[in-house]
Amino acid sequence: MRASTSLIVLLIAAAGTRAQEISWPQELVAADGSVVVIYQPQVEDFTGNIIEGRAAVSVSRPTSGNVPVFGAVWLTARIDTDRDTRTGVIREVDLGEVRFADASDEDLDALAEFIESEIEGSSFTISVDELLADLEVEAAGLAEAELRHEPPRILLSTEPAILVTIDGEPDLQDLEGTSYKRVVNSPFLIVEDGRDYYLYVGSNAWYRASAATGPWSAAAQVPSAIAGLVEPAEDDEADLNNVTIIVATEPTELVVSDGAPSWTPVEGMNLLYMDNTDSDAFLELSTQRYYLLLSGRWYRGEGLIGELAWSHLPNDELPEAFRDIPADSVNGAVLSQVAGTPQARDALLENSIPQTAAINRDDSSFSVQYDGDPDFAPIEDIQVEYAQNTVAAVFRYGNLYYACDDGVWYVANSATGPWSVATEIPAAIYEIPASNPHYNVTYVKVYDVTPEVVYVGYTPGYYGSYYYRGTVVYGTGWYYSPWYGPYYYPRYPTWGFHVRYNPWTGWGVGVSWTSGPFRFTFASSGSWWGVGGYRPYPRPIVYGGYRKTNININVDNSINIGGRNRPEARPNLYNRPGNNARNAARPTLASGRQGQPATAARNDVLTDRSGNIYQRGTNGNWSQRSNGQWRQPSNLDRAATAIPSTAQTGVRQPAQRRSDLGSNQQRPSAPRPQLERDFQARQQGARRAQSFQGRAGGAGGGMRRR
């Protein structure tokens, strides 16, 4: 792993990021008063935390009367991203080729050297939304995992109901400090007092049964010692004392409707949707087939009521009608799981953006608790073993042990430690298959190393969001056997929690499930796995219907669900209180080395893949820079006959720099389609970024949870 010798710049502190205006172009002012303006990079590839692309630039120097000289640079850079604030810092910029449309051969070397001295070693702030809008899906480097898609058991309840999941047959263990036993293989609090079972479902509602699997009825009285196991809930008007309790001991999903299924046309199409449920259920009129969206996967059946046979339908094989669902309708959110839609594209690109952090190399806070002596089992087809009797992700490879904890890799000479921050991870560990319960760690990377800091990051695959057939789905679909011993360690489930995708926040638990006082968290402390520790609903609302509300996509592309503001994004694992001590201090940037928004330039200058410079006017027309003038272009709709070369006039390849970006491009096509695409993406990204900043503004930048 390369240790960077250039200026290492961490993400600015969250408050600083919110306070600074994020806009393009950005400028750097040199000591002699010269100004370098960098227009928003046109990203061509994004792998790990490395971006590659090109950018239009201009240089104004007092010695030349401050007349701007326009050119193009090809660059490679690292980017630190913070998904909480949706910002990134472009750093360690390395220039490849440099081309100036306005420069003579005599001036080119001096201009190129000046550009290098100013840009390399500086950093620039960009919003994640601007970055996403500019990316092509092919450039994101998404790989499809070996997922499973067999349907779970699908149940329909026409009255308020809660699905209580138990991982197999109920397993009773002593509840420490009491005379009671608890069903440990359930995220719900199910307590046995020697005669009866008591179930807590939240909102101060208790149920009683003679068996853990039911049937359950509202408990008129609960032993005070059992009731004291939970803190009384605040009154939230959710009446959970009269709901149906459905117990599942196998992978199951519950669809709850307010009475018998009721169907409404999707904007006059040959497609109906169930309007009295929170689930995504559709009926295709021409075939009389039913479609359900569960954990991002589509299932097709011949009915909804009773024990039915459902079959999986890949997300890119849906009937064409699904692509025509209006984005601003009550069903618009499902478009993220319909391959080929802009919403699916956005979800895929969102899935490629890492959350990054800098970790102190001397951190030794990690430790592992085993249920007895460490017990390792082989992983099929690879020379890696994993620890079965711990909730932590611990692996043995050769003579070393590796563990992944909240997005950070550790290494040790012994299974019990002491553990130190890992600076590199064997390639074999990234071959862990989806059939292993710790497959998600393959989405955690070590990006860079310095003597003091290890740069790490994780993409959403770490908390269960995976690429599949042109969309994202939740969970691997594999069933992972839990560990039973004196302790019980659950594994990562796909089914049973009504997981749905929100275009703004990603995956969240739906309203037909509640954990009572127990949260599903993404942690290594023995908690049940879940969707990143974030529940979009503080309490389940199971009374009075599950009718959907409009998803209103405004002109600025912001989304309002049910009249509420954009919900809070998934918390950054690195910023959790228990993890703060291991984070490296964030040094301030050297004076003048941080790009600042340019005050006298519009973000309307772009470069084509050949390095030609164009400006888009407010009337939509394009002008091309040539010999110091903006002129009407003659080649916008004609393919170029050559690609950039260092032999061309106005092109310089800096010594000992990467040159593959500028010189190894495929033969360009006509410039106009790509220029229009890049400009529209730039505009869309700016609108989305402004929408986020407006909703996240204010002290602390907090957003209300739903």
What is the DSSP track for 53-100?
A: EEEEEEEE-GGGTT--EEEEEEEEEEEEEETTTTEEEEEEEEEEEEEE
Q: For residue 243, which of 549, 548, 540, 535 has the smallest C-alpha distance? A: 540
In this prediction, residues 228-257 reach a mean pLDDT of 84
Q: Which residue has the higher pLDDT, 589 or 504?
A: 504
Percentage of residues of the chain with pLDDT beyond 90: 48
Structure token digits, residue 139: 């450039």
In this prediction, residues 402-429 reach a mean pLDDT of 96
Distances (CA, A) of 239 to 204, 242, 541, 548: 9, 7, 8, 20
- What confidence category does residue 692 fall into, taking pLDDT thresholds of 50, 70 and 90? low
For the cut 50, the answer to whether the pLDDT of residue 322 exceeds it is yes
Residue type, 221: Q
For every residue of 336-350, DSSP letters joined together read: GGSTTSHHHHHHHHH
Q: For residue 80, which of 7, 11, 4, 8 has the smallest C-alpha distance? A: 11
**Euclidean distance between CA atoms 508 and 660, whole angstroms:** 41
pLDDT digits (tens, 9 = 90+) for 652-665: 554 333 334 333 44
**Euclidean distance between CA atoms 317 and 307, whole angstroms:** 25
Percentage of residues of the chain with pLDDT beyond 70: 79
pLDDT digits (tens, 9 = 90+) for 445-454: 999 999 999 9
In this prediction, residues 364-375 reach a mean pLDDT of 94
CB atoms within 10 A of CB 30: 15
Assess contact for 562 and 549: CB atoms under 8 A.
yes
For the cut 80, the answer to whether the pLDDT of residue 477 exceeds it is yes
pLDDT for the residue numbered 470: 92
For every residue of 523-583, DSSP letters joined together read: SSSSPPP-STT--S-SS---SS------EEE-TT--EEETTBPPPPPPPPGGGSGGGGGGB
pLDDT for the residue numbered 16: 35
Q: For residue 297, which of 540, 54, 468 has the smallest C-alpha distance? A: 468
Mean pLDDT across the chain, nearest whole number?
Answer: 80
Residues facing 97 on adjacent strands:
none
Least confident of 117-131, 141-155, 297-311, 498-512: 498-512
For the cut 80, the answer to whether the pLDDT of residue 145 exceeds it is yes
For the cut 80, the answer to whether the pLDDT of residue 198 exceeds it is yes
pLDDT for the residue numbered 668: 55
**Euclidean distance between CA atoms 317 and 326, whole angstroms:** 19
**Which sign does the torsion angle of CA 321, 323, 326, 331 carry?**
positive
pLDDT digits (tens, 9 = 90+) for 12-62: 233 333 334 578 999 999 989 999 999 999 998 888 889 999 999 999 999
**Euclidean distance between CA atoms 499 and 507, whole angstroms:** 6
**Euclidean distance between CA atoms 497 and 508, whole angstroms:** 9
Specify the 3-state DSSP secondary structure of 688: helix
Q: For residue 484, which of 181, 171, 227 has the smallest C-alpha distance? A: 171
Assess contact for 351 and 467: CB atoms under 8 A.
yes
Q: Which residues contact 216 (CB under 8 A, 6 or more apart)?
A: 164, 199, 207, 208, 209, 245, 247
For the cut 90, the answer to whether the pLDDT of residue 148 exceeds it is yes
pLDDT for the residue numbered 479: 93
Q: Which residues contact 80 (CB under 8 A, 6 or more apart)?
A: 9, 10, 11, 49, 88, 89, 91, 356, 358, 455
For the cut 60, the answer to whether the pLDDT of residue 552 exceeds it is no
**Euclidean distance between CA atoms 629 and 648, whole angstroms:** 20
In this prediction, residues 324-347 reach a mean pLDDT of 92
For the cut 60, the answer to whether the pLDDT of residue 523 exceeds it is no
- What confidence category does residue 315 fall into, taking pLDDT thresholds of 50, 70 and 90? very high
In this prediction, residues 183-191 reach a mean pLDDT of 88
pLDDT for the residue numbered 594: 87
pLDDT for the residue numbered 690: 75
Q: Which residues contact 592 (CB under 8 A, 6 or more apart)?
A: 28, 29
For the cut 60, the answer to whether the pLDDT of residue 571 exceeds it is yes
pLDDT digits (tens, 9 = 90+) for 412-421: 999 999 999 9
In this prediction, residues 202-214 reach a mean pLDDT of 92
Q: Which residue has the higher pLDDT, 635 or 148?
A: 148
Q: Where are the domains of the chain?
A: 14-123+591-633+665-696, 255-325, 355-458
Least confident of 16-20, 114-118, 169-173, 320-324: 16-20
Specify whether the backbone of 435 is left (phi greater than 0), alpha (psi in -120 to 50) or beta: alpha
pLDDT for the residue numbered 588: 54
For the cut 90, the answer to whether the pLDDT of residue 154 exceeds it is yes
**Euclidean distance between CA atoms 218 and 234, whole angstroms:** 19
pLDDT for the residue numbered 484: 81
Quote the Cα angle for 611-613-614, to 5°: 140
Specify the 3-state DSSP secondary structure of 249: coil
- What confidence category does residue 140 fall into, taking pLDDT thresholds of 50, 70 and 90? low
pLDDT for the residue numbered 458: 94
Specify the 3-state DSSP secondary structure of 358: strand
For the cut 70, the answer to whether the pLDDT of residue 566 exceeds it is no
Distances (CA, A) of 93 to 186, 358, 481: 50, 18, 46
Assess contact for 506 and 128: CB atoms under 8 A.
no
In this prediction, residues 671-697 reach a mean pLDDT of 79
For every residue of 586-635, DSSP letters joined together read: -PPPPTT-B-EE-SS--S-EEE-TT--EEEE-TTS-EEEEETTEEE--S-
Q: Which runs of E-coded beta strand occur in 384-537?
A: 385-387, 393-397, 400-405, 408-412, 420-421, 444-449, 453-458, 465-468, 471-474, 483-484, 488-489, 499-502, 506-509
Paired sense of beta strands 280-284 and 252-256, if any: unpaired
**Euclidean distance between CA atoms 124 and 90, whole angstroms:** 5
- What confidence category does residue 651 fall into, taking pLDDT thresholds of 50, 70 and 90? low
pLDDT for the residue numbered 141: 67
pLDDT digits (tens, 9 = 90+) for 58-76: 999 998 888 899 999 999 9
Indicate whether this model's pTM tops 0.85: no
The topology (CATH level 3) of 14-123+591-633+665-696 is Bactericidal permeability-increasing protein; domain 1 (3.15.10)
For the cut 70, the answer to whether the pLDDT of residue 208 exceeds it is yes
For the cut 70, the answer to whether the pLDDT of residue 351 exceeds it is yes
For the cut 60, the answer to whether the pLDDT of residue 583 exceeds it is yes
pLDDT for the residue numbered 7: 25
**Euclidean distance between CA atoms 177 and 475, whole angstroms:** 35
pLDDT for the residue numbered 155: 93
Q: Which residue has the tokens 């899906």?
A: 137
- What confidence category does residue 548 fall into, taking pLDDT thresholds of 50, 70 and 90? very low
CB atoms within 10 A of CB 497: 28
